[in-house]
Amino acid sequence: MISNLFIIIYVIGAFIVISCSVSEKTDRGPLITTNNFDSLSFNPYVENNFPFFSTYLYARHIGNSFTENNVVSRGLIINLGDSSYACFDRDLLRWSVAWTGERLTKSMLPQVSYNDYFNKKNTVLLIAGSPDYVNGMYLGCS
């Protein structure tokens, strides 16, 4: 009895999935038929006047007088105004780096490499200005 009910529910679910995928929808926009990742131009990924955004940050080897071990996996990049920025590390509850000048390099982890697994074209997000304050990877709450 239970196995018959399971089969009926499975068939009805499969019918719903197939009927939803076959139905034509015109409001989704044009289909993507080519892969031109190397020649695409994107809009700015961060609004210039927005006070913060969340990202990772690689802040190793940014100067001789600063610590070399500084990576942030879940950071808040905060616009302090007057071309000044700071990164708060939400994992370690610390201020990891503060800098002036340009915000960040325009690079992200490669979301375009799924088809070619061994060609990642990795570039990590770096600060583009000059660092003023750098904190090592220590717990900020201690």
Model pLDDT, residue 35: 67
Domain ranges of the chain: 52-142
Q: Are 72 and 59 in contact (CB under 8 A)?
A: yes
Averaged over 3-23, what is the pLDDT?
68
d(CA 48, CA 52) in angstroms, rounded, equals 10
For residue 55, which of 5, 116, 106, 10 has the smallest C-alpha distance?
Answer: 106
Beta strands in the chain (DSSP E): 52-58, 71-81, 84-89, 94-100, 130-134
% of the chain beyond a pLDDT of 90: 14
Averaged over 106-112, what is the pLDDT?
60
Whole-model pTM? 0.58
d(CA 127, CA 74) in angstroms, rounded, equals 15
Model pLDDT, residue 124: 76
Q: The tokens of 6 are what?
A: 């399971």
Q: What digits encode the pLDDT tens for the residues 46-87?
A: 565 678 888 888 888 887 788 888 888 889 989 898 889 999
**pLDDT band for position 110 (cuts 50, 70, 90):** low
Model pLDDT, residue 141: 74
